[in-house]
A = this chain, B = another copy of it.
Amino acid sequence: MTQNLTLESIGRLAGVSRSTVSRVINDQASVSPDVRDRVKEVIRLTGYAPNLAARSLVSGRTGVIGLVIPSRVHSLFEDPYFARLIQGISAASNPSGNTLSLFLFQNEEEESRLYPRVVTPGFLDGLVITATRMGDPLLARISNGEIPVVVVGRPDADGVSYVDVDNRGGAALAANHLCSLGYQRIGMIGAPTGTTAGADRLTGFVEGLAECDRVLQRNLREDGDFSESSGYEAMKKLIAREPDAVFVASDTMALGALRALKEQNIRVPEDIAIIGFDGLAPDRSSPILTTIRQPVMQTGSRAVELLNDLISGALAAPISEIMPVELVVGDTCGANLPEPRRKGSANEP
């Protein structure tokens, strides 16, 4: 079948030199229409495709961008967040002619062993790194610019380009929503504060409460690890402390929280209001979860776009961008209940 096809052999078949074939392939101007057509026909007939290795050897570009998912978030990989993110990254890679390589490190050992390969110039054109953790050792090694990198999420290092979502603003939105509905004993199930997303959502929520002259009571906060079961466990602990509303820092954890409540026959939103974060579980809960939606796919796509700009030199690092979030009102906060929510009941010193 298709084999041994080279510029040279195509040229021979079309009766031209290899340079001309190269010009046709790269859509360069200086080729007469008839020659161009003839060459294209031969290419079509033979099914010739240029050898990428040879091409990248001379051009210095590989056409490959890498997506690195560090080992510590590995266990979270099953959160639909990553599926969406990958979809967004893939969607933006294909049109730009890039191939996406996935680096899913199993553990620290593998990470440090394979890491050199990932940042070595000539292997990848650029890198997207998901960095949900603070003090990422990978980031430290990148700053000195071996290869263009864009981080998804806020890195806690300077000089690194990134795309983040407005975690603080979104969490504040959640706080305001709960306040405006009259809830009094407002709690939170947080994400790990060792991740910038977790830290930012906590900060934002506290700030949002402050805008309504409220504070987040110490005993009304539990943290999870982004998993469904951690949300379930956290909510079981909170129930005894009787919050009337809880902000859960991820939808997956919120599903766990709802499960815990249903198990105890606590009604949502009548007995307790729940608001999530992510916007990833639109129809997976009964009642439908009120949440803060972040544009996950777009975040991934935007990261690739910025990376392409970095690679082409159109932009110089570091650059950053914050994606907007929005409140999506569902049924778990009682916003749509006919009568206004409790206002000013529930007192506690």
Contacts and interface: CB of A to CB of B under 8 A. Distances in A.
A228 B153 CA distance: 28
A120 B286 contact: no
Contact of A53 (B1, B62, B84): B62
A83 interface: yes
Contacts of A78: 80, 83-84
A193 interface: no
Interface string A111-123: 0001011001111
B121 A2 contact: yes
A26 to B, nearest CB: 16
29 contacts: A1-B146, A2-B146, A3-B121, A47-B116, A49-B117, A49-B123, A51-B122, A52-B62, A52-B122, A52-B123, A53-B56, A67-B102, A77-B86, A78-B83, A78-B84, A86-B104, A91-B104, A94-B105, A94-B110, A94-B114, A99-B101, A100-B103, A101-B101, A102-B102, A229-B284, A259-B285, A259-B286, A262-B286, A263-B286
Interface of A: 1-3, 47, 49, 51-54, 56-57, 62, 64, 67, 74, 77-78, 80, 82-84, 86-87, 90-91, 94, 99-106, 110, 114, 116-117, 120-123, 144-146, 228-229, 256, 259, 262-263, 283-286
